[in-house]
Structure 1
């Protein structure tokens, strides 16, 4: 069924306010633009709606991950021949926060990444971009071995008592749940690799060890969290949206993973 009128930045802002998003909030957004429906101005209008609601004291955060910049030995979709691996490691352009596009995180993060005044963390795989009053606090000091841990934008949002907003997507895309994995007493560790950009434009392959990011049970975890009632559910355009306090979410997830994994 065709929607009666196009959604607009103004109508989406009204939906976001009705959901509970407020001026001054720091909010990490995961979204499906397709689920929202037709918007006059497309993704740009969605970002504008978020910023209009947050106001000058608020901060919009999005994942700008670049998981293609990883060790080809672990690629499965699709795999590449072993004889390609050294070429990819040695010849891939290093991650550059200003130039390297995000990948597999949707259209909206790319719009935010390029927004005037946006800042981006410098992690070669798990970067985040932010616009607003707390952008510098959110993206700075993103340590290589802390892609989704305490010394990452996720940890910064936790300390800022920020919020998580899922628009038209489920908890399997709720990146904050990875912070709970990193907080386990004995997290499962794995090796990572990526190309990083050096001063002057050359690149270098680096490796590090960090907790394994495993979202396979996040839908179940998110469902258990929702039973606690500590979130707001409503419509943003045609999409079901969920707004929740990130600190309470991560605390719940930390305990849940300890018990059920």
Structure 2
């Protein structure tokens, strides 16, 4: 029977992460719900330290640092302006701050990701909508050259994580949050594309920038993840508790390759 500790600490969490299979010296992308983990001594910082302790000095920690708040083509914007009139919507757009890699927060990514982004030595990629933050010896390679018109494809940190054999930790989150599946969307034949628009810095001010990229859709990631887990073999999906959080550890390349084959079949069925 699993005993729930009232308050967790860094050492306990590190032991659980090690038991789950986090690889010392490896590269690990984390999607975390600290609410699911439960109370921890010293809060989010202790959880980040537990992950880094498990990875060791040669390991690299990566988190999404996405910023849909400065776009008027994002789901976050649609939610924000739902029910507003045109003048009110225009005021929202006028108040959007341009993306700044050093200072723009990523509040929708949660406290764990923000703690990593703000940590001394953290590096961040430059995409104004889907940046990543990383800590560790391979952080520079991972975040470099993130093309501004490639959210999550071959010219993004996801492709570098694929090359490096990264693991993905879903720490109290579901497969619906598994960003790795998006790289699979780029690797299907002829993925649908659409226009995106966001506010960027320009000559000390701000301007709207519009670009075309793959039409990203995570609405079926939960179903895809369930199929991925059922089909997994050889430890491709490891499950366990970290704190109170029901968690999964997967190989990023395994997830991407599964998505590349799953998506054409299942999305054609629903179209």
TM range (shorter): over 0.9
Check the 8 A contact 1:60/1:132 in 2, yes or no: yes
Aligned pairs, how many? 259
Partner of 1:207: 210
In 2 relative to 1, CA 150–73 (structure 1 residues): closer, same or farther, beyond 3 Å?
closer
1:101 & 1:42 partners in 2: Cα distance? 19
Partner of 2:11: 10
| Residues 68-77 or 228-237, more deviating | 68-77
Partner of 2:78: 76
In 2 relative to 1, CA 73–260 (structure 1 residues): closer, same or farther, beyond 3 Å?
closer
Check the 8 A contact 2:25/2:60 in 1, yes or no: yes
1:73 & 1:31 partners in 2: Cα distance? 22
Partner of 2:225: 222
TM-score by length of 1: 0.94
1:190-219, CA deviations, whole angstroms, 9 ceiling, x for partnerless residues?
1111111235x3222111011111111101
Partner of 1:127: 131
Gaps of 5+ in 1: none
Check the 8 A contact 1:66/1:126 in 2, yes or no: yes
Kindly state the Cα deviation for residue 130 of structure 1 after the two structures are TM-superposed.
0.3
Kindly state the Cα deviation for residue 84 of structure 1 after the two structures are TM-superposed.
4.8
1:2-40, CA deviations, whole angstroms, 9 ceiling, x for partnerless residues?
944421111100000000002111011001101111110
Summarize the alignment of residues 6-45 of structure 1 with structure 2, pairs less than 5 Å apart: 6-45=7-46
TM-score by length of 2: 0.90
In 2 relative to 1, CA 94–58 (structure 1 residues): closer, same or farther, beyond 3 Å?
same
Summarize the alignment of residues 179-258 of structure 1 with structure 2, pairs less than 5 Å apart: 179-198=183-202, 201-229=204-232, 230-258=236-264
Q: What is the aligned-residue RMSD (CA, Å)?
A: 1.8
